[in-house]
Structure formats: C-alpha cells, structure tokens
Amino acid sequence: MPLIWPCDNDLGIVKDYWDDQESADLSAFSFARVLQRFLEWRESDQFEVDSTPCLKRINVLAHSMGNRVLRETLRVWRKYSLPGGVPMLFRNTFLIAADIVNESLEEGHSGELIVHSSRNVTVYFASDDLALRASKASNLKNRIASRRLGHSGPQDMTKVARNVFAVDCDDVNTRYDYPKGHSYFRSGEVFGEPGVVFLHLFAALRSGRVFPEDETRRMTILRD
C-alpha cells in the first residue's frame, strides 16, 4: 500500500530537496494519525469479533526523503500518543537511498524510533547516488553539513542496535538507474526484471531474516 506525501516540483533539484524537507516534516502529523487509528482498531473489541487471528506481517519500505517522513512520523506518534514508547510494529523496515543523516539510527538520535519499532532495519546505500548529492548540496547551501545515510550507510555500525543491517549497492545502483543511481531497488538492468537489490529485499520479506544463512552477519556488498 503506497503512502504518498505532497512533495514540491520546483525548478532545480537542489531547491526541490530543501523545500521537500519541510513538506516531509509536516506530513508526519497525518501519517502518525494513521498509525494511531490502526493501533486503536487492533486493540478494539471490533478486532476480536472475528476469532480467526490475523497472521499477516507489516513491512515498510521508505525511499529517499520518504525516510525523513517515516522518522518524523514515529517521532510525532510517540510525542502525542505513545509516551511509553512505540510498539514493535514492523517485521522489516527497508531504508533505501535514505535522505537522513548517517548517525540517525544511533540511540539518542532522531531516527532511533525506526529501530525500536522494527524487528529488522536494513539500510541500502550507494556512494555515487547523484540525487543524494543534490540533497547534500542543498543542505550545505543552507549551512548544514551532514553525510546522508543513503550514501554511506550507518556512520558507525558499533553504535547502532544489533537489528540494524547495512547493504552496499555501489556496484549496481547506476546500472539499474542510470545516470542518477537513486531508484535502484525497483528492477535490474532490464526494466521489469528483478535485480539483486529487489531479490535481497524480497528474500528478507519471505524469511523475516536479512541474512538467514548467517544470523551474526550485519553487512554485505551486492553484486550481479
């Protein structure tokens, strides 16, 4: 189920990225209400009318600045509805080409609730993602210096929780999405055919484990 937020369409990708940050933050309030209504429904008497338990898992995929929307949604949700903390609602959270700072997932930082609400958090990143370079240029123009999570992965894997995994897509991103190398999860070199990123993501969806062959592993490099 796609969740759409109202990003801008200004002339020039750098200006677009700066303006979209505000739109992403404001969208969080609406999405937080969606999550709260879902939680209320799940815990209501109406949910118990049907004695057949629902075994479906919830997985979320956030792309580019959609990661900022997800981060702010969880922050707003906790602030106004869940002072005791967010529940572990998601089985897998896939953060692809994430346009948030690369320390975000560390405890005490702005994206820590993404980790708290998920069984697995998988970060897909590529250092030559041109769209994220535009984001970095926009932030530098506005005197904010930061590396993006979608460029480098987590700043320090020893500072993030054990349920955070990092996947380097540098070898395939521009081949799958030339020349920007930004939407590389959708297909492989042939449009409509799955690439290694999609297949890795899909395997985690099916198994519930990012590296089922080695559950102590936390990082990998994807190659065709």
Extract long-range pairs of 183-190: CB within 8 Å, 24+ residues apart. 183/63, 183/97, 184/97, 184/124, 184/126, 185/61, 185/63, 185/94, 185/96, 185/124, 188/224, 189/224
Q: Quick: pLDDT tens for 170-181.
A: 999 999 999 999
CB-CB contact of 78 with 112 (8 Å): no
Residue type present at position 117: S
Mean pLDDT, the chain, rounded, equals 87
CA atoms 217, 221, 222, 224: torsion sign: negative
Residue type present at position 20: D
The SS3 assignment for 91 reads strand
Q: Quick: pLDDT tens for 127-166.
A: 999 888 766 555 544 445 578 999 999 999 999 999 999 9
* Residue 60 DSSP class: E
Whole-number Å distance between alpha carbons of 210 and 203: 8
Place of tokens 């560390």: 106
pLDDT band at residue 34 using 50, 70 and 90 as cut-offs: very high
The SS3 assignment for 61 reads strand
Closest to 4 (Cα-Cα) out of 30, 36, 22: 30
CA atoms 175, 177, 183, 188: torsion sign: negative
Whole-number Å distance between alpha carbons of 135 and 124: 17
Domain residue ranges of the chain, discontinuous segments joined by +? 13-51+59-207
The pTM of the full predicted model, rounded to 2 decimals, is 0.89
- Whole-number percent of the chain with pLDDT over 70: 84
